[in-house]
A and B are shown apart, each in its own frame.
Chain A
Amino acid sequence: MMRTRLLSIALFLALIVIWEFGTRLSGVSALVIPAPSAVLVVLWNGLTQGFLWPHIWVTGVETLLGFALGCLIGFVVGIVLGESDRLRRIVWPYILASQVVPKLALGPIFIIWFGFGMTSTVIITALICFFPLLENTLSGTQLATPEKRDLFRMLGATRLQTLFQLKIPTGLPVIMAGVRVAIVLALVGAVVGEFIGGSEGLGASIIAAQGMMDTTLMFALFIVITMMGLAFYQLTILLEKWLLRGRNKGTTL
């Protein structure tokens, strides 16, 4: 385990070294591929002098708001459709169609409706997060075995009790898998949403850096976005571990 981790770190360092010397020795312009040392300097300055923080804040807020909104709606709609076969058959084709439409292509329309800035980006992000949660909630809540459903019937459980004490807990691992997918998509949604309609945020900064041909800054922004993505992902893993604590620990004796 330890050895594998060390090898993984060694691979990362080796790639950085190759990249550093590759850019220095080959004489490729920093406009095309900047050296990692230059990227780190820009990143460091951006963080210490503070000009990156407002953008990190904006993108972070957009990601989390869109994520929360999309997950909440997806979860609730998933529950409702899971409880009503009829409703599901009626609305499913439309939900599917709404997901087949590339959501980023809806960006310009949202800008007309909601204006430039945060609202449009949050809505795009929410739309992207909605579907994985809907689908995983819908399929997760159907996973309770017939025996366990019969058990709840035998015990005289109400529909709500069966939902909250059987179906949702049974589906929780699947629902949380949807949450993990959604958080990654949320950051992509927020960044690309800013490409289209943002004046602030990391995505907007990438567009601004492109305008100034500042490749080094763009690379620094990629690193920031990657770090944010990893951090958000880790948070969902922690949330999942907390929610599923006590389950699947160890094996049977």
Chain B
Amino acid sequence: MSTEAPFISMEQVSYAYAGSAAVVRSIDWTVPTGEFHSLIGRSGCGKTTLLKLAAGLLHPSSGVVRLQGDVVDAPSRHVGFVFQTPSLLEWLTVLDNVLLPVSLRGGVTPDDRNLAMELLELVGIGAHADRYPQHLSGGQQSRAALARALVTSPPALLMDEPFAALDAITREELQDDLLRLTKLRNSTVLFITHDIAEAVYLSDRVAVMEHGSMSYTTAIDLAGRRDGETRYAPSFSATCRQIRSAMSTPLPETA
């Protein structure tokens, strides 16, 4: 394992579901350690497939996905995955849901419990640790799912539109929580969304995906710390507009 290698790298990665055209076409992409990258695109553009390829849940039809230089051929425990829906187990309490990754790897120690409780406090639902997920609001469930992804302290997080189903205000709160936690742990993140503002707010780099390939990428420089004001800064809107216009550009036929 070489430490200089980018955390996630994809080389000429393509993927086609059996019997259909490629949904991911020759993607080259690297996420350096500690960076937060977002992929945006319309539904069906192949972004979820790309994320599953990065996770090792799918194997590329051609090309190679590497994590810290090693070829990915199965899900890695260095990677946490946050799904579109919270996907909490309704027969476990919130605390036990957060501890699931630990309990599947063996015993849960008191230290694990403390860490899980700490994470629940960090995402603001410490008071609900002993409740069952279906008693929580959608936002609280998403927070629990985030805590679950973080409990094994994975150096990288893959996130598939985790906040898409939430109301705008809850989403902003969760975005701030996420930024805080990932900066705290220097996590590498690949984040998928269809919300341009969300991508710009969170990321060091944003890529637009259309018809299975990256059509546009840009580094985001919002000058310093992101906070509530950032979303209303002129540079923020300008960046969003720039990405939006990149998305409307019709693509040449690639098929």
Contacts and interface: CB of A to CB of B under 8 A. Distances in A.
Interface of A: 145, 147-148, 150-157, 161, 165-166, 169, 172, 244, 246-250, 252-253
B75 A153 contact: yes
Given A161-B104, A165-B104, A252-B135, 11 more contacts: A147-B83, A150-B83, A151-B81, A154-B80, A154-B81, A155-B77, A156-B77, A156-B104, A172-B91, A248-B90, A252-B134
B190 to A, nearest CB: 14
Given A250-B135, A252-B136, A155 B104 contact: yes
Interface in B96-131: 100-101, 104-105
B169 to A, nearest CB: 16
28 contacts: A147-B85, A148-B87, A150-B81, A153-B57, A153-B75, A154-B55, A154-B80, A155-B75, A155-B101, A155-B104, A155-B105, A156-B104, A156-B105, A157-B104, A165-B100, A169-B89, A169-B91, A244-B91, A246-B132, A247-B134, A249-B132, A249-B135, A252-B135, A252-B136, A252-B137, A253-B136, A253-B137, A253-B140
Interface in B57-82: 57, 75, 77, 79-81
Nearest to B103: A165
B91 A246 contact: yes
B217 interface: no
B230 interface: no
A249 B87 CA distance: 18
B126 to A, nearest CB: 16
Contacts of A157: 104
B105 to A, nearest CB: 7
B30 interface: no
Contacts of B136: 252-253
Contacts, number: 66
A159 to B, nearest CB: 12
B175 interface: no
B84 interface: yes
A18 to B, nearest CB: 47
Dominant secondary structure of chain B at its interface with chain A: loop
A158 to B, nearest CB: 8
Contacts of B55: 154
A157 B89 CA distance: 15
Contact of A247 (B79, B90, B105): B90
Nearest to B81: A154
A150 B89 CA distance: 13
B65 to A, nearest CB: 15
B210 to A, nearest CB: 25
A246 to B, nearest CB: 5
A253 to B, nearest CB: 6
Ordered nearest first, which 4 A-B pairs have the shortest CB separation? A154-B81, A147-B83, A154-B75, A147-B87
B178 to A, nearest CB: 18
Contacts of A166: 89
A88 B230 CA distance: 57
Nearest to A250: B135
Interface string B132-147: 1011111010000000
Contacts of A244: 91
Interface in B1-53: 52
Contacts of B93: 246
Nearest to B102: A155
